[in-house]
Structures are given as structure tokens and as C-alpha cells.
């Protein structure tokens, strides 16, 4: 009998870090790292260093991979 494990597929918007990210407003390359002490699910806003517009970051720790996945979006 095959060893089957019930796995939920990760949404395609979650990407493994490190990764190259770009500001959703101006396209400038940026880098951010979730705080490992901030918990497995994090949601925070940082301003782009170039255009100063707010970017929303959502980070989720993937225990199987041992790293954070990251989604970002433009804040109004």
C-alpha cells in the first residue's frame, strides 16, 4: 500500500524565499524578510524605498520547507 499524505496545494502566489521581488507600484526591485519571531502568519505594510508608496506583505511559514513564503500587493 502506498504511503499517501493528505497535502493541501499551496496557492501559486506564495513563493519561497529568498526571491527577487518588485514594488507593485513602480517596479523597483526590493528585498524584505519576515521576522522569524513574528509567528507563522504575518501581515505587515512597508513603504517602497523609491516611490514611498505602501506595500502589503503577507508571510506564511511552511514547516515542510522550513522557510517563509511571501505574497505582496499594492496598498491604496
The pTM is what?
0.67
Predicted pLDDT at 47: 94
User: DSSP character for 17?
Assistant: S
List of residues 6+ apart from 2 with CB closer than 8 A:
none
Predicted pLDDT at 35: 78
The list of the chain residues with pLDDT below 70 reads: 1-19
Strands 67-74, 21-22: parallel, antiparallel or unpaired by DSSP? unpaired
Predicted pLDDT at 22: 93
Predicted pLDDT at 1: 43
Q: What is the mean pLDDT of the chain?
A: 78
Amino acid at each position: 500500500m502506498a504511503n499517501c499524505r493528505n497535502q493541501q496545494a499551496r496557492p501559486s502566489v506564495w513563493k519561497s524565499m529568498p526571491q527577487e521581488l518588485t514594488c507593485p507600484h513602480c517596479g523597483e526591485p526590493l528585498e524584505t524578510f519576515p521576522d522569524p519571531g513574528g509567528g507563522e502568519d504575518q501581515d505587515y505594510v512597508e513603504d517602497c524605498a523609491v516611490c514611498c508608496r505602501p506595500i502589503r506583505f503577507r508571510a506564511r511559514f511552511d514547516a515542510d520547507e522550513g522557510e517563509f513564503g511571501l505574497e505582496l500587493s499594492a496598498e491604496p
